[in-house]
């Protein structure tokens, strides 16, 4: 679990291993993560783009960027939360993700809301 707050936008991420979609014999571990984005401020804010940095246990890094999340560019009024679930395959049983959401407030202020680093791990691989 990770939690970050940037300019009154709180981002919480809860990752989980998905064994039924994984195949360790073929170097495939599948992870899902649920994200809650909450506007703790007084001004509406819109999520415009995302940037993820995904790192496997071998140090290989992949950057994923694009518009919105899960096909949406959610607008969050004061106190509102947007929740979504997405997924990430890895070639190792351990990895990390972190990143940012580019946000724009209703009054035109742009900023990047941090997504704090969190660990992706197959609990069966821990000894």
Distance (Å, whole) CA 38 – CA 18: 26
pLDDT class of 84 with cuts at 50, 70, 90? very high
The model scores a pTM over 0.75: yes
Q: Residues in the chain, how many?
A: 127
Q: 87-110: per-residue pLDDT in tens?
A: 999 999 999 999 999 999 999 999
Instruction: Report long-range pairs for 17-25 (Cβ below 8 Å, ≥24 apart).
Output: 17/120, 17/121, 17/122, 17/123, 18/87, 19/122, 19/124, 21/87, 22/122, 24/93, 24/122
Mean of per-residue pLDDT scores for the chain: 96
Distance (Å, whole) CA 122 – CA 93: 5
Q: Map out the domains of the chain with their CATH numbers.
A: 2-121 (2.60.40.1470)
Distance (Å, whole) CA 93 – CA 29: 6
């Amino acid at each position: 679990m990770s939690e970050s707050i940037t300019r009154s936008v709180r981002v919480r991420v809860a990752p989980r291993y998905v064994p039924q979609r994984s195949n360790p014999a073929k170097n495939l571990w599948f992870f899902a993560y649920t994200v809650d984005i909450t506007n703790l401020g007084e001004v509406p804010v819109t999520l415009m783009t995302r940037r993820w940095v995904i790192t496997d246990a071998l140090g290989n890094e992949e950057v994923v960027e694009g518009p919105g999340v899960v096909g949406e560019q959610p607008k969050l009024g004061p106190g509102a939360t947007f929740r979504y679930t997405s997924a990430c395959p890895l070639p190792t049983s351990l990895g990390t993700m972190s990143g940012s959401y580019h946000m724009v407030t209703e009054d035109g202020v742009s900023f990047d809301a941090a997504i704090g680093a969190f660990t992706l791990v197959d609990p069966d691989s821990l000894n």
